[in-house]
Structure 1
Amino acid sequence: MKQSFTEKSLEKFYTAKDFYKLGIKSENLDFTNILMQLEKEKISFPKFKIINSIFINTSISLEYTLLIRKLNDNIKRLYGVKQADRNSIVHQVQILLQETSRPISILRLDIQKFYDSIDKNLILEKVIENDSLLSYQSKYVLKNLLLENSQFQKQDGLPFGLNISATLSEIYMKSFDRDIKKIDGIYFYVRYVDDILIFTYTEEDIENKIKNILPKNLHFHEDREYKKKLIKLPFKTSEGSFDYLGYNFSIKNEQLITTIADIKIKKIKSRIIMSFVNYFRDKDFLLLHQRIKFLTSNYYIRQENKYANEREVKKLKSGIYYNYKLIDIDNLGQLKNLDIFLQKSISAKQGKFGKKLSRLLTQNQRNLLKKHSFKVGFERKISHNFNETTLSKITKGWQS
């Protein structure tokens, strides 16, 4: 596998998303300086922008961003790292809950401060010093980025927000993922980043056995109610529910019901209100309309580069349908309730909120907003195109 950093190999990681967000065309990229630094082993990464403790990949020059993407791709391919697919996991959980006939208990565990707690030096020692898989140049770039960069030198864990941190964390957790499946009594195990779900035949000391094989510095949340035993199967002997990956799984009258987790419903309602509150400040009706449209529908960003064939072009899909496509189709009460909440918010004329809204919104504007529906957006998979600049404006109003 070619690990070399060349103009062509770096440019392969340029996507349409980069153009939408930064307005930089691929032909305007200049790798002269960065390739010279690599050759002389004097590379110097610019400072990353930090928002809410998250390092922003694209806050440095695009050429350096592409360098990190290439390095990340080298590591992913060499170590066979694949990010877990949320929809596949949820679908698998649904099947297991429906088909399990033997009595089991379900345990959900959450790793505390996952990226911050990973021993950066330990994982880099494995990748840089002990393994011969990674090329000398790749090791140099990785070491320079995470060990010699002034922003990360004093940080013990992995920087949250960089895609390479997600890849290194998966390598760090490989032995744990392998060893946990060897524990007697564990019927099913899945991990999505720091969120773990376990089906077990026995309650005997399972949690302590799992704690004993956790990698260095990692700990489970001890104050979360959901980490304890949640539910017993088969359905005939118990009823209960639990949340996982944005969904709620409940068992009633021997039937599995999959809905949107309450915490996600509250988040959507909060964003509706915050959209109006921001409108009170900026008086930008177009932006308010875009926010309501965004919440009630779906969108995709075409992600491609000039070397990709049609099969390699990716469409990043998101929205009310694509985020919750596995809820029960015949049980859309939550979406109806969201519609009621939205309509009441738009129609409000009383109280401090309603009076402010009445002074700003015309009836025609209210009618335009009322055309949007969570239920319709879900059922019809209604999609809109939002460029990166618009997406940034939309979501910025919801950041706390």
Structure 2
Amino acid sequence: MKALSPGRRAQPWRYAALLALPMLGQATSAIPSPLYSLYADKWHYPPFLTTVIFAAYGAVAVVAILVSGPLSDRYGRRPVLVAAVLLLLAGLAVFVGAAGPGYLVVARMLNGLGIGTIVVVGGAALLDVDPERAARSGTLTAIAFNVGIAVAALGTAGLAQTGFHPLVLPYLADAAIALVLLVLLLAMREPHPSAGAAPLGIPRPQVPREIRGRFVFAVIGASAAWAVLGVCFSLEPSIAADAAHVHGSFFGGVVIAAVTLAAALTQVISARHPARTVALVGDTALAVLMLAGVGGFATGNAVVIIATVALQGGAYGLAFGGSLRHLTARIPAERRGAVMSMFYLLAYGALITPTLLVGIGATVWSATAIFPVFSVLAALLCLSAVAVERAPGRRAGRLTPTQAPVAEAARMSEVD
């Protein structure tokens, strides 16, 4: 790490504060999920509108992901992160004053801009503050994502179960935490050592020819995982509650927490195993568990349903985490921005599109009727990732001798 200039005090709390930002962002994204059924009952709108409200977040998050990195390279991490937290606060204010479903769309869009920015710039700032802990920072960030979601979902659902201002208090509590982090950001020195030197430009999403096979495998697996996650955060809580004949919002919060905590656990456990193997196991397991989940939901047993979604969450953690690690292990340094832009464009497309289609199906027919169809299609998408990677041509390509040094080959075999 760089030595401090004379007269400058150390800020050992910077790493913890920056690590708390993704937790705040994902908690903010999760708060509305257990409340969608309450909003729908209050304003009498169909399931499709629930998925539109959810998808609004993903649509603008893509924009933030594309532009926030170059902006922070040019103007610094701190001002961009301050703007991101202000966007979170603006979205929370709209949620508190919401007078109809249109307000929820606006609130989700504001939050999506802030969260997308935090995902990109917060991760870069962590590397700036402590580049020696790059691998550990990635693992801790993934854990922070899932823990933030789980805590917010359970807390919001528990409050909704009591009926004590559930459409106001969760947002106010989240805003209080956001204000604390905003003050810390304002007091923080700029983490990026060369802010102002980089030219301002948006990376054009593209994939180098030499990693296209790897990219296809990774993006199909990640897209399947995010498609499952999108439905889990929008309609699945109410579907699970209806299947288990449970009234109130708390059960929906438990569903979301079970998925995210299981994902965090499997990501931690699998971090030391080869990424390709983890991704293949995750894709296969998620396909099997999505099909088994149809039977689990059909039992109507609350315990069986929670166990089912927890297993699906664990498989999701393997599929997405393994796919992402498998891809990033071989991206040329000068093409990282372009490749990751393409990866997240497609991943967010997978988050949004199936969720909207499930919402249409749930409105035309019913949520319980469309959920098995979605489960089958998600399983087929997972298996297609496995088929792409296990194709004879791909295996032959991996077995072709390369000119890489022995030490480098040994290192890559450990992570890939």
Normalization by structure 2: what TM-score? 0.27
Structure of higher RCO (CA pairs closer than 8 Å, 6+ residues apart): 2
Structure in which a larger fraction of residues adopt strand: 1
- Which has more radius of gyration? 1
